[in-house]
Chain A
């Protein structure tokens, strides 16, 4: 069993029910928007220029936006080598939302731009490209969020000095049902400085805002 307290949750971001919650604080709530409109509004609210965002599928947009919020002000890249920052994500619906949209396009003409997003781990790639992360990454497809697995997998990577920091969590979407919960996990106790254990993961995952 991997020791549970050698690393810390230093930041969290939750995106669900048309809200963005950063470190437990609601920073955006747009109940009237549909999902594409909501994600576009979150992007505009961040005031970043990243034209590639508009080409991403909804799953990648949501994970990318959550990572932007999560890393906001963390100066992670200045403190940790890119080779020692990883991303470990999971979800229940894989890339099914985009798979279905891609399948629809094949009736007329298959869309290459959609085809490239018909894998769930593309969202990890988009986050890594944006922030220059070059460490270990993984994507698990599970029926439900498994806090134990996430804790053990990330802790193993950190305790074995493969990673010094990483983003982990849940990025799930199908139709209008979606939920993203990301954790920034670091060896040093900074920011929220919550011990990275299953209880804290579950607490953040099931927060009343989330």
Chain B
């Protein structure tokens, strides 16, 4: 889980072009949107692309988005759960 969260932080920075942010500056439980990293709706779409490209996961229900993309930890949990389901 720690490795996955660390990978996710680097992937988020690369995918969203967050050139002023370092992976260690993103907290595991820091909100990604609004008050936290300040991501916007286009970034949310890019996160969906990231899940699909890096983890072959398609977000089947758009309403799950806010829950899945709340923090790096919730993203990692979603990926783990998805991988366990498909194991």
A-to-B contact residues, CB < 8 Å: 49, 51, 54-55, 108-109, 111-113, 116
Contact = CB atoms under 8 A, between A and B. Distances in A.
A55 B16 contact: yes
Contacts of B21: 51
Nearest to B15: A113
Interface string B16-51: 111111000000000000000010001101100100
Contact of A109 (B17, B43, B53): B53
Nearest to A50: B20
A134 to B, nearest CB: 20
Nearest to B43: A113
23 contacts: A49-B20, A51-B18, A51-B19, A51-B20, A54-B17, A54-B18, A54-B19, A54-B20, A55-B16, A55-B17, A55-B42, A108-B53, A109-B52, A111-B46, A111-B49, A112-B42, A112-B46, A112-B49, A113-B16, A113-B42, A113-B45, A113-B46, A116-B42
Nearest to A112: B45
A110 to B, nearest CB: 8
Contacts of A49: 20
Nearest to B17: A54
A109 B49 contact: yes
Contacts of B53: 108-109
A49 B45 CA distance: 24
Interface residues of B, number: 14
B74 to A, nearest CB: 21
A55 B53 CA distance: 19
Contacts of B43: 113
Contact of A51 (B38, B45, B46): B38
B26 to A, nearest CB: 13
A112 B42 CA distance: 6
Contacts of A111: 46, 49
Contacts of B19: 51, 54
B9 to A, nearest CB: 16
Contacts of A109: 49, 52-53
B76 to A, nearest CB: 21
A175 B19 CA distance: 23
A112 B45 CA distance: 6
A113 B17 contact: yes
Given A55-B17, A116-B42, 13 more contacts: A51-B19, A51-B21, A51-B38, A54-B17, A54-B19, A54-B20, A55-B16, A109-B53, A111-B49, A112-B42, A112-B49, A113-B16, A113-B43
B38 to A, nearest CB: 7
Contacts of B20: 49, 51, 54
